[in-house]
Protein backbone atom coordinates (compact mmCIF):
# COMPACT_ATOMS: atom_id res chain seq x y z
CA UNK A 1 0.00 0.00 0.00
CA UNK A 2 2.80 2.42 0.93
CA UNK A 3 4.64 1.58 -2.27
CA UNK A 4 1.55 2.34 -4.35
CA UNK A 5 1.04 5.64 -2.53
CA UNK A 6 4.67 6.63 -3.05
CA UNK A 7 4.44 5.75 -6.73
CA UNK A 8 1.27 7.83 -7.12
CA UNK A 9 2.93 10.85 -5.47
CA UNK A 10 5.95 10.46 -7.75
CA UNK A 11 3.76 10.38 -10.84
CA UNK A 12 1.87 13.50 -9.76
CA UNK A 13 5.10 15.40 -9.10
CA UNK A 14 6.58 14.31 -12.43
CA UNK A 15 3.50 15.35 -14.37
CA UNK A 16 3.41 18.68 -12.56
CA UNK A 17 7.05 19.36 -13.42
CA UNK A 18 6.47 18.50 -17.07
CA UNK A 19 3.43 20.78 -17.19
CA UNK A 20 5.45 23.66 -15.75
CA UNK A 21 8.17 23.22 -18.37
CA UNK A 22 5.62 23.03 -21.18
CA UNK A 23 3.84 26.11 -19.89
CA UNK A 24 7.06 28.11 -19.86
CA UNK A 25 8.01 27.02 -23.36
CA UNK A 26 4.58 27.91 -24.72
CA UNK A 27 4.55 31.30 -23.03
CA UNK A 28 1.66 30.36 -20.75
CA UNK A 29 0.96 33.38 -18.58
CA UNK A 30 0.45 31.12 -15.55
CA UNK A 31 4.08 30.03 -15.64
CA UNK A 32 6.61 32.14 -13.74
CA UNK A 33 8.54 34.05 -16.42
CA UNK A 34 12.24 34.72 -15.98
CA UNK A 35 13.74 37.96 -17.25
CA UNK A 36 16.18 37.41 -20.10
CA UNK A 37 14.96 33.89 -20.94
CA UNK A 38 13.42 34.28 -24.39
CA UNK A 39 14.37 33.59 -28.00
CA UNK A 40 13.80 36.70 -30.12
CA UNK A 41 12.15 40.11 -30.26
CA UNK A 42 8.96 41.18 -32.00
CA UNK A 43 8.95 44.85 -32.97
CA UNK A 44 5.33 46.04 -33.11
CA UNK A 45 4.67 49.18 -35.15
CA UNK A 46 1.15 50.52 -34.73
CA UNK A 47 -0.61 52.57 -37.43
CA UNK A 48 -1.73 55.40 -35.15
CA UNK A 49 -4.68 56.65 -37.26
CA UNK A 50 -6.41 53.26 -36.92
CA UNK A 51 -5.85 53.23 -33.15
CA UNK A 52 -7.31 56.72 -32.97
CA UNK A 53 -10.54 55.66 -34.67
CA UNK A 54 -11.54 54.00 -31.40
CA UNK A 55 -9.39 55.95 -28.90
CA UNK A 56 -10.10 59.55 -29.83
CA UNK A 57 -9.30 60.86 -26.35
CA UNK A 58 -5.88 59.19 -26.17
CA UNK A 59 -2.94 61.58 -25.98
CA UNK A 60 -1.49 60.38 -29.29
CA UNK A 61 -4.74 61.28 -31.08
CA UNK A 62 -4.65 65.04 -30.55
CA UNK A 63 -3.72 66.11 -34.08
CA UNK A 64 -0.05 65.18 -33.90
CA UNK A 65 -0.12 63.59 -37.34
CA UNK A 66 1.42 60.26 -36.40
CA UNK A 67 1.72 57.43 -38.91
CA UNK A 68 3.52 54.36 -37.58
CA UNK A 69 4.42 54.58 -33.89
CA UNK A 70 6.22 52.20 -31.57
CA UNK A 71 3.72 49.92 -29.87
CA UNK A 72 6.43 47.84 -28.27
CA UNK A 73 9.46 45.58 -28.46
CA UNK A 74 8.34 42.21 -27.15
CA UNK A 75 10.50 39.26 -26.03
CA UNK A 76 9.09 36.08 -27.61
CA UNK A 77 9.43 32.29 -27.46
CA UNK A 78 10.14 30.49 -30.74
CA UNK A 79 7.64 27.77 -29.81
CA UNK A 80 4.93 30.37 -29.29
CA UNK A 81 3.90 32.84 -26.63
CA UNK A 82 5.94 35.27 -24.60
CA UNK A 83 7.05 36.11 -21.06
CA UNK A 84 5.31 39.02 -19.39
CA UNK A 85 5.38 41.08 -16.19
CA UNK A 86 8.76 39.73 -15.08
CA UNK A 87 10.11 40.46 -11.61
CA UNK A 88 11.21 42.79 -10.26
CA UNK A 89 8.47 45.24 -11.24
CA UNK A 90 10.38 48.51 -10.86
CA UNK A 91 8.85 51.70 -12.30
CA UNK A 92 10.80 53.91 -14.67
CA UNK A 93 12.67 56.76 -13.02
CA UNK A 94 12.58 60.32 -14.35
CA UNK A 95 15.57 59.95 -16.68
CA UNK A 96 14.22 56.67 -18.07
CA UNK A 97 10.80 58.22 -18.64
CA UNK A 98 12.41 61.09 -20.52
CA UNK A 99 14.19 58.59 -22.78
CA UNK A 100 11.05 56.50 -23.20
CA UNK A 101 8.99 59.48 -24.34
CA UNK A 102 11.34 59.91 -27.31
CA UNK A 103 10.26 56.42 -28.45
CA UNK A 104 6.64 55.88 -27.39
CA UNK A 105 3.80 58.25 -28.32
CA UNK A 106 2.37 58.45 -24.79
CA UNK A 107 3.48 58.11 -21.20
CA UNK A 108 0.72 55.57 -20.53
CA UNK A 109 1.84 53.26 -23.33
CA UNK A 110 5.48 53.60 -22.31
CA UNK A 111 4.76 52.57 -18.71
CA UNK A 112 2.61 49.62 -19.80
CA UNK A 113 5.14 48.33 -22.31
CA UNK A 114 7.98 48.52 -19.81
CA UNK A 115 5.98 46.73 -17.11
CA UNK A 116 4.60 43.97 -19.35
CA UNK A 117 7.38 43.39 -21.87
CA UNK A 118 10.47 45.42 -21.05
CA UNK A 119 10.95 43.85 -17.64
CA UNK A 120 11.33 40.47 -19.38
CA UNK A 121 14.25 41.62 -21.53
CA UNK A 122 16.68 41.16 -18.65
CA UNK A 123 18.42 44.39 -19.67
CA UNK A 124 17.05 46.78 -17.08
CA UNK A 125 15.09 49.87 -18.08
CA UNK A 126 17.93 51.83 -19.65
CA UNK A 127 19.17 48.81 -21.60
CA UNK A 128 15.69 47.94 -22.81
CA UNK A 129 14.95 51.47 -23.99
CA UNK A 130 18.29 51.62 -25.82
CA UNK A 131 17.55 48.33 -27.58
CA UNK A 132 14.04 49.52 -28.47
CA UNK A 133 15.56 52.69 -29.91
CA UNK A 134 18.00 50.68 -32.04
CA UNK A 135 15.28 48.28 -33.19
CA UNK A 136 13.05 51.19 -34.16
CA UNK A 137 15.90 52.78 -36.11
CA UNK A 138 16.69 49.52 -37.89
CA UNK A 139 13.33 49.20 -39.64
CA UNK A 140 12.78 51.71 -42.45
CA UNK A 141 9.18 52.74 -43.13
CA UNK A 142 8.37 52.49 -46.85
CA UNK A 143 7.75 55.86 -48.53
CA UNK A 144 4.32 54.64 -49.61
CA UNK A 145 3.36 54.23 -45.93
CA UNK A 146 4.54 57.53 -44.55
CA UNK A 147 1.79 59.71 -42.96
CA UNK A 148 -0.70 60.98 -45.53
CA UNK A 149 -3.93 62.96 -45.62
CA UNK A 150 -6.21 60.55 -47.53
CA UNK A 151 -7.12 56.91 -47.16
CA UNK A 152 -5.09 54.40 -49.15
CA UNK A 153 -5.85 50.76 -49.87
CA UNK A 154 -3.34 47.91 -49.99
CA UNK A 155 -3.52 44.16 -49.74
CA UNK A 156 -1.65 42.72 -46.76
CA UNK A 157 0.84 40.98 -49.06
CA UNK A 158 1.56 44.30 -50.72
CA UNK A 159 2.37 45.91 -47.36
CA UNK A 160 4.75 43.04 -46.66
CA UNK A 161 6.35 43.57 -50.07
CA UNK A 162 6.81 47.30 -49.47
CA UNK A 163 8.47 46.70 -46.09
CA UNK A 164 10.75 44.07 -47.58
CA UNK A 165 11.73 46.42 -50.40
CA UNK A 166 12.75 49.06 -47.87
CA UNK A 167 14.33 46.43 -45.59
CA UNK A 168 15.86 43.71 -47.82
CA UNK A 169 16.97 41.63 -44.84
CA UNK A 170 13.41 40.87 -43.71
CA UNK A 171 12.56 37.25 -44.53
CA UNK A 172 9.15 36.25 -45.93
CA UNK A 173 8.39 34.62 -42.57
CA UNK A 174 9.87 37.50 -40.59
CA UNK A 175 7.00 39.99 -40.81
CA UNK A 176 3.28 39.99 -40.07
CA UNK A 177 0.51 42.48 -40.89
CA UNK A 178 -2.30 42.88 -38.34
CA UNK A 179 -5.69 44.38 -39.10
CA UNK A 180 -8.52 45.77 -37.01
CA UNK A 181 -11.58 44.91 -39.06
CA UNK A 182 -11.00 46.34 -42.54
CA UNK A 183 -8.22 48.71 -41.39
CA UNK A 184 -4.46 48.28 -41.04
CA UNK A 185 -3.61 48.08 -37.36
CA UNK A 186 0.05 47.01 -37.04
CA UNK A 187 3.11 45.72 -38.81
CA UNK A 188 5.23 43.36 -36.71
CA UNK A 189 8.85 42.55 -37.54
CA UNK A 190 10.81 39.71 -35.96
CA UNK A 191 14.39 40.35 -34.86
CA UNK A 192 17.05 38.34 -33.06
CA UNK A 193 18.51 39.42 -29.75
CA UNK A 194 21.24 41.08 -31.82
CA UNK A 195 18.47 42.97 -33.68
CA UNK A 196 19.24 41.23 -36.97
CA UNK A 197 16.11 40.39 -38.94
CA UNK A 198 14.91 36.88 -38.09
CA UNK A 199 12.14 34.41 -38.79
CA UNK A 200 9.09 34.69 -36.57
CA UNK A 201 8.16 31.97 -34.11
CA UNK A 202 4.98 29.99 -33.84
CA UNK A 203 1.78 32.00 -33.80
CA UNK A 204 3.15 35.18 -35.38
CA UNK A 205 1.36 35.55 -38.70
CA UNK A 206 -0.59 38.02 -40.79
CA UNK A 207 -4.12 38.56 -39.50
CA UNK A 208 -6.09 40.44 -42.14
CA UNK A 209 -9.02 39.70 -44.39
CA UNK A 210 -8.45 38.81 -48.04
CA UNK A 211 -8.36 41.64 -50.56
CA UNK A 212 -7.59 45.29 -49.97
CA UNK A 213 -7.44 46.80 -46.51
CA UNK A 214 -7.86 50.45 -45.66
CA UNK A 215 -4.99 52.55 -44.35
CA UNK A 216 -6.70 55.56 -42.70
CA UNK A 217 -5.22 59.07 -42.99
CA UNK A 218 -3.46 60.88 -40.17
CA UNK A 219 -5.51 62.71 -37.57
Q: Topology of domain 38-215, per CATH?
A: Ribonuclease Rh; Chain A (3.90.730)
146: which residues sit within 8 A by CB, 6+ positions away?
Answer: 67
Catalytic residues: 71, 113, 117
Give residue-wise pLDDT tens across range 123-143: 999 999 999 999 999 999 999
pTM, 2 dp: 0.85
With contact defined as beta carbons under 8 Å apart, do 213 and 183 qualify?
yes
Total H helices, total E strands in the chain: 6, 6
Per DSSP bridges, beta strands 152-155 and 212-215 are antiparallel
Chain segment 93-117, per-residue pLDDT in tens: 999 999 999 999 999 999 999 999 9
Ordered by start, the domain boundaries in the chain are 38-215
Amino acid sequence: MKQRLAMAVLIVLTLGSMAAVNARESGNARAQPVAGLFDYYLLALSWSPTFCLTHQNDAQCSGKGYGFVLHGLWPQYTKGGWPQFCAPQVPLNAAEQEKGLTLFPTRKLMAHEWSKHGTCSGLGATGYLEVADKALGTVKIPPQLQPFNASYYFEADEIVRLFRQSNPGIAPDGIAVICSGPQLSEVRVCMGKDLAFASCGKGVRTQCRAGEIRVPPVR
